[in-house]
Structure 1
Amino acid sequence: MASLDRPREADTDQHVNPRQDAVETLARLLRGQDYTAIVHNGFLVASAGLNVRPVRVWCQPRRSDGNRLWFHWTGATPICEADKPYEALTAIKGHLEATP
């Protein structure tokens, strides 16, 4: 009989991808605010509707910050650290609402 106090082997063998986790967390926050967020490998595409131009947000290491993960606009313009998804949410919402 298996012990309920320890994780199954399959649970401990899963590989964690911090970039993808950060992108998925941000996508959930955007969806919770009624935005569209489509997750790809290492980035997401966010939109506020059919008549608003979507934006891409990447999650990449930033050399000048000890290779910590940061959210970036396309073109590598930094938004904020990946461990601050609410700051990224605010920036993305502002950008989408200001974009015609």
Structure 2
Amino acid sequence: MSSENWTIDSIAHALPHPELRATFQREVSFTDVGKLPAIFRRWVQFIEDFEADRPRTEELLSYIEQHGRLLDDYDEDTPESIAAFEDLKARLNAHREGHHAA
């Protein structure tokens, strides 16, 4: 998607969760015009990062559905692993919501 010309509408539609779309719309609506390019770049980067991570997310989701647990790499109870697990759960939820959003 990075090769296409981005618009406010295409950015909003590419966001994987309704709350993200609402946040994006608020930022765009209430930001000084001079600061908009930086905001657009940040949101496009978020979308590109999310899409680049999608195959890994799909693999992890498939593994969890088949085995009922995370990979062993995520089983260790450390602050980092707990944060990674919470991040993974948030990404999976955003991914699931994105498939049901119009």
TM-score (normalised: structure 1): 0.29
Report the structure, 1 or 2, having the larger strand content.
Answer: 1
- Indicate the structure with greater helix content: 2
